Structure 1
Amino acid sequence: MRTTVALRLSALLGTVGAAGAIALGAPAPSAEAAAAVADGFASQNGGTTGGAGGATVRATTGTQIHSALCTRASSSTPIIIQVEGTINHGNTTKVSGSSCNTAADKIELKEISNVTIIGVGAGATFDQLGIHIRDSSNIIIQNVTVKNVKKSGSPTSNGGDAIGMESTVRNVWVDHTTLAASGGESAGYDGLFDIKDDVKYVTLSYSTLSNSGRGGLIGSSETDTANSFITFHHNKYSNIDSRTPLLRGGIAHIYNNHYVGLVESGINSRAGAKAKVDNNYFQNSKDVLGTFYTDQAGYWQVSGNIFDNVTWSSPGSENNPAGPNVTSNTTVSIPYSFTADTASCVPSVVASTAGANTGLKVSTGSCGVTSPSPTTSNPSSPSPSPSTSPTGNPTGVNLSIGAGSDGSSKASGTSYGDVRDGNLTTFWSPSGATGDISIKWGTATTVSKINIREASGSSIGAYQVLNGATGAVLKSGTGGGVITFSATSTTKITFKITSSSGTPKVAEFETYAS
């Protein structure tokens, strides 16, 4: 029987210029072509949009990711963090701020909301460093690889989970990710995708999970049953011992996944859990569905699945495989629409779409594959935030978001950080008619253009743009607005106001690579 789901694609990121529109693979869209509206259970409870409508910042280290979170105006200010390169223990430190709560041994998304982390360019790899989501909501993680995260040995991170969520988490979409280990618990690894302690409205889509003893769980014990409303679709599980996933309580929808080489067991529904299992392809595996290692029963509703060279163990007091004659023992109501591919084409569709750096391609729902539509074709895309430059101003990534700032003395009620918070209603003013304000980075950054956006009533006369690291004058002129100069690699750019006819007020000091 065919189940139906309507795939909904729209744009997540605002227009990204030359600095941000870097190919992700072959063929790979620019970041602006990312899918924006989550499907599955992540589409419920108000939906999951991540940082849509917020500022965009590029990060090449874990510290820069944390800095981007910590320099937002608040813990709920939307932000899109484009990640490129390898994120590891060596470049990830704890960063403090009123809008974040981070840690040095993991990428910490704690007590925050409205965040997107998306891999761009040559790709984003979190190497031996897990992503931890706690007490947070409206989070998107897309197009990244997380590998070899350990709970024992060295180094350790995130309790051994590649991606873990716990403690009152709501609305998370994990999409087009590659999650991998290199062994089981004895080798120091735990789960690839773990959910516990009251997590709801989550979708894992178009991802690969491989080479692990444990694929993932929903609920950490037989009493941790408040987690619910989780969708798994178009994922590939390969060379996994068990837990694809392990379900304790709650409701899960599992469709169009490809399972290959499950060694001990697969979907383990127990402790009252209910799983709707539709149009999946199970191959060369053992005990792919049932209740295992407990006498606390779970339940399933099945349709349209293919079992290709699947073996089944005998029932026992703590072992209740669903096969070999797989039938439903419950019914599960799904509140959203969807269109499932027939199971026979799932291996080919998943092979073309699942994992990081596959171009964010998705299924058409009829055994075909398509790429997401670009931002400009979708009228429902979120409006740009104040920090997004209007037509005629620079496009691309504003390098000031997530950077630091300092300057000369400031007028009462103003702040250096106000020039990089993406908010045109806040600003910095010098204590007199002249002064300077700077944007600074922890590593050398190439800048060739700035945009001085003045607040209402501002009066900027003559200025100099300085290489703050050397003191060299890059440009001189009068007034604010867009200022272009020769590309300069530096750790600090300074805007020095040398005269004014009134009070200078800099609302945003934007910096761009080109």
Structure 2
Amino acid sequence: MRRIASLRLYAVLALMAVVAATGVVLSMPKASAATGSATGYATQNGGTTGGAGGQTVRATTGTAIHAALCNRASSSTPIIIQVEGTINHGNTSKVSGDSCNTAAGVIELKQISNVTIVGVGRGATFDQLGIHIREASNIIIQNVTVRNVKKSGSPTSNGGDAIGMESGVRNVWVDHVTLEASGGESEGFDGLFDMKNDTQYVTLSYSILRNSGRGGLVGSSESDRSNGFVTFHHNRYENIDSRTPLLRGGIGHIYNNHFVDIHDSGINSRAGARARVDNNYFEDSKDVLGTFYTDQAGYWQVNGNTFDNIRWSSRSGDTNPAGPNPQSNTSVSIPYSYNLDSAACVPDIVNRTAGANTGLRVSDGNCTPQTPGPTEPEPEPTDPPTEPGPEPTDPPTGTNLSIGAGSDGSSKASGTSYGDVRDGDMSTYWSPNGSTGSISIKWGSATTISKINIREAAGATGNIGSYRVLDADTGAVLASGNGAGVISFPATSVRKITFQITSSSGTPRIAEYETYAR
């Protein structure tokens, strides 16, 4: 007993030393992860709760934020980090530990999950220091300001992005933040809010993005189409050249935002992206919606928007604005509930609610600001219960609809191909570039599917662990389970259906991804 007591005392003393060195202040009672609850696509895929239920830690330096992450029992132990003061290069150092992967000069949320960072007290400002989210999930960032992050000049941080996400990021809610620069790329700045390389289920709400050349993008290039299911609502985009946002592939839901003084182009839907644009207010701007700077078209559904003093270019070459009379050229189904404010009141309601240090007020859907209470109990996940898949001895009947269809997916291993899963040849296959990834079958028009058959290549049987089957048009989860074989679900009309591998015991190799109507 004395030895145990001594060890506990030693641990406490060691922790106190870390606290003294880094500026971490521990608060033992549990508290809500943030004020209010996630909205938009961040509510899908199991929901976004951040560090709810975890320990609360107060941090006044970037090093303290990293230390809080590194002092957890594991990289997935929930934690709420309350931040106050100015976080900058001078107080942000790398901290090492088994539960973190940090770096100096940037707030690094890498290979972790279940974290909330929330500004408290007199406010939190990340000055010339970006927030980098990589290979992470279930993250909340709320009530902070990130300003003047540079990719060139001095000092540099996070590739010039205020908040940047990449490489297998899932379920991020960024709420009531202010993201700002002091110029464009020639002045050393890049995007304010960027997502790339398989980033999905993200919501940006009640935030201000201003004074930048680039608002943000979803997809880093025309071939980076593994991102999507992103919601932007009740944000103010002001004094920005372009990318409010730029969408490459995937689905974006953009509603109740105020766009003012957009200089070159606004919502840029391209490379097959599909944007639903509801009840926004566009003011004193140019070419606020369309496909720009590419010959690879994107699509939009428009409802209830106000266009106030908008200048539209003539269509020519790679300039294809939606105006002067924007019309829908696609249809986008939204899988979550939401309340739309009238576009007429959007400038007022956004002005009274958006940004850091505004009291975290939100709209009630009737153009009236409300102050939300503490986070409600965690909602039930939207995924179906995970159960073992059906036995592969119960084959589907009818025609394999994958033959003649198209296919794409997340990054692929060298020497493999997306097309190999629909060629009827068991000797060819697709593998992800890692232990997890996704592969999709797609058609030019809606196709009814009720069964798929995932057939692993020789020598890789049993490598697939857990999976999810997604309606890629809406993000809805049709089925989940473990292992390959025949997977059944209620008949669903889809244009693209995704098989997502979320764990594996070895390198997955999918030889055939068959799809059937029954």
How does the TM-score come out when normalised to structure 2?
0.67
TM-superposed deviation, 1:105:
1.4
Where does residue 318 of structure 1 map in the other structure? Answer: 318
Contact 2:34 2:116 in 1 (8 A): no
Task: Point out where structure 1 has 5 or more consecutive residues left out of the alignment.
Answer: 1-18, 21-30, 383-514
**Structure-2 separation of matches of 1:241 and 1:145:** 20
4+ residue runs over 3 A deviation: 31-34, 378-382
**Structure-2 separation of matches of 1:127 and 1:311:** 35
Matches within 5 A, 1:142-221: 142-221=142-221
Write the deviation string for residues 56-95 of structure 1: whole angstroms up to 9, x where unpaired.
0000000000000000000000000000000000000000
The secondary structure found in structure 1 opposite 2:115 is strand
TM-superposed deviation, 1:374:
3.9
Matches within 5 A, 1:26-425: 34-374=34-374, 378=376
**Structure-2 separation of matches of 1:77 and 1:261:** 43
**Structure-1 separation of matches of 2:164 and 2:294:** 24
**Structure-2 separation of matches of 1:124 and 1:220:** 29
Contact 1:34 1:372 in 2 (8 A): no
The secondary structure found in structure 2 opposite 1:58 is strand
Contact 2:36 2:372 in 1 (8 A): no
**Structure-1 separation of matches of 2:314 and 2:35:** 44
**Structure-2 separation of matches of 1:34 and 1:44:** 18
Write the deviation string for residues 30-68 of structure 1: whole angstroms up to 9, x where unpaired.
x86943421100000000000000000000000000000
TM-superposed deviation, 1:316:
1.1
TM-superposed deviation, 1:381:
9.1
Contact 2:33 2:80 in 1 (8 A): no
**Structure-2 separation of matches of 1:321 and 1:381:** 40
**AA partner of residue 260 (structure 1):** V
**Structure-2 separation of matches of 1:228 and 1:365:** 25
**Structure-1 separation of matches of 2:150 and 2:351:** 27
The secondary structure found in structure 2 opposite 1:41 is helix
The secondary structure found in structure 1 opposite 2:65 is helix
**AA partner of residue 164 (structure 1):** G
RMSD across aligned positions (CA):
1.6
Contact 2:36 2:374 in 1 (8 A): no
Contact 1:281 1:306 in 2 (8 A): yes
**AA partner of residue 210 (structure 1):** R
TM-superposed deviation, 1:128:
0.1
Question: Percent identity, aligned pairs only?
Answer: 76
**AA partner of residue 219 (structure 2):** G
The verdict on how the C-alpha distance between 1:272 and 1:33 changes in structure 2, with shifts beyond 3 A counting, is closer
**Range with greater deviation from structure 2 (126-135 or 35-44):** 35-44
Write the deviation string for residues 426-456 of structure 1: whole angstroms up to 9, x where unpaired.
xxxxxxxxxxxxxxxxxxxxxxxxxxxxxxx
**Structure-1 separation of matches of 2:36 and 2:99:** 24
Contact 1:34 1:360 in 2 (8 A): no
The verdict on how the C-alpha distance between 1:33 and 1:160 changes in structure 2, with shifts beyond 3 A counting, is closer
The secondary structure found in structure 2 opposite 1:68 is helix
**Structure-1 separation of matches of 2:374 and 2:338:** 22
**AA partner of residue 267 (structure 2):** I
TM-superposed deviation, 1:379:
6.0
Contact 2:150 2:157 in 1 (8 A): yes
Where does residue 511 of structure 2 map in the other structure? Answer: none
**Structure-1 separation of matches of 2:144 and 2:378:** 26
**Structure-1 separation of matches of 2:37 and 2:236:** 22
**Structure-2 separation of matches of 1:136 and 1:36:** 22
**AA partner of residue 278 (structure 1):** D
Number of aligned residues: 353
**Structure-1 separation of matches of 2:68 and 2:337:** 35
The secondary structure found in structure 1 opposite 2:358 is coil
Where does residue 465 of structure 1 map in the other structure? Answer: none
The secondary structure found in structure 2 opposite 1:226 is coil
**AA partner of residue 151 (structure 1):** K
TM-superposed deviation, 1:154:
0.2
